[in-house]
Amino acid sequence: MAGAAVLGRLTWRVATIRDMREETARAKSLVLDVPDWPGHLAGQHVDVRLTAEDGYQAQRSYSIASAPEARGLELTIERIDDGEVSPYLVDEARPGDRFELRGPIGGYFVWHAGLDGPLGLIAGGSGLVPLMAMLRHRRAAEATNDARLLVSAPRFDDLLYRDELDGARITLTRQAPPGWDGFTRRIDAEMLQAIWPAPGARFYVCGPTPFVEEAARLLVGLGHEPAAVRTERFGPTGG
């Protein structure tokens, strides 16, 4: 499985949207049918390519949200207002529409249930997408290792996968609903220390670059091994 997911030349395939689900006001999950999909590992991404009638092409990378065990490949896409690809995928695309995709891609930011030991997941905004693939895979594989998730988002309504966040630690940095008993500040050493009191976890941190660098810096400062902290950043461009 691991071999099948990384071997072979990358080829563009035509994906057909089977189903769409609204995650937040700005994000949708697209369930895709992709003929001859070779399978993937949790944490990997795909490249999506849109071609206009005049031949102009725009290409972006999106993390895979579904577990390898799921039927259908699922991407969660957040609209970047001046983006070239995400406004189409979030607002215009409909079931039955098709676009080009290649993957799975990536071998560094991946986790599979064969890797034992505690799992530490830290997400900033839509950085939750590849981490949710890991949690969904962990559930499907019935892994029993300790897994803890910390999600940072501006507001409650910005949280992806709200139905699947039982047990997750959440911090809302701009506005919290009345009665909120989670964190209400940017991530800091005290917060990470409370969730991961001792080193030993394998960390995956995904989000915007400043968030990821701060989280990684804090983890190393708390005594976690730098090599145990895997990171994936996304920048201001894209969408």
Phi then psi dihedrals of residue 78, to 5 deg: -100, 135
For the bound state, the minimum distance from the C-beta of residue 57 to other proteins, rounded and expressed in Å, comes to 12
Rounded Cα gap, residues 133 and 43, in angstroms:
6
Neighbours of 89 (CB within 10 A): 24
For the bound state, the minimum distance from the C-beta of residue 133 to other proteins, rounded and expressed in Å, comes to 14
Part of the chain binding other proteins (CB under 8 A), chosen from 15-23, 70-78, 133-141, 229-237:
229-237
Q: Which amino acid is at 196?
A: W
Any contact of residue 7 with other proteins (CB under 8 A)? yes
Q: Considering CB under 8 A, how many residues would be counted as binding other proteins?
A: 25
Kindly tell me which of 59 and 175 has the beta carbon lying closer to other proteins.
Answer: 59
Any contact of residue 86 with other proteins (CB under 8 A)? no
Kindly tell me which of 45 and 138 has the beta carbon lying closer to other proteins.
Answer: 45
Rounded Cα gap, residues 89 and 111, in angstroms:
27
* Cα 158–chain centre separation: 14
Any contact of residue 108 with other proteins (CB under 8 A)? yes
Considering only 33, 47, 164, 214, the residue that binds other proteins (CB under 8 A) is 47
3-class SS letters over 120-145 = EEEEEHHHHHHHHHHHHHHHHCCCCC
For the bound state, the minimum distance from the C-beta of residue 190 to other proteins, rounded and expressed in Å, comes to 26
Any contact of residue 3 with other proteins (CB under 8 A)? yes
Look at residues 90, 87, 93 and name the one whose alpha carbon lies nearest to residue 76. 90
Neighbours of 233 (CB within 10 A): 16
Question: Which residues form the interface with other proteins (CB under 8 A)?
Answer: 2-3, 6-7, 9-10, 45, 47, 61, 102-103, 105-109, 209, 230-237
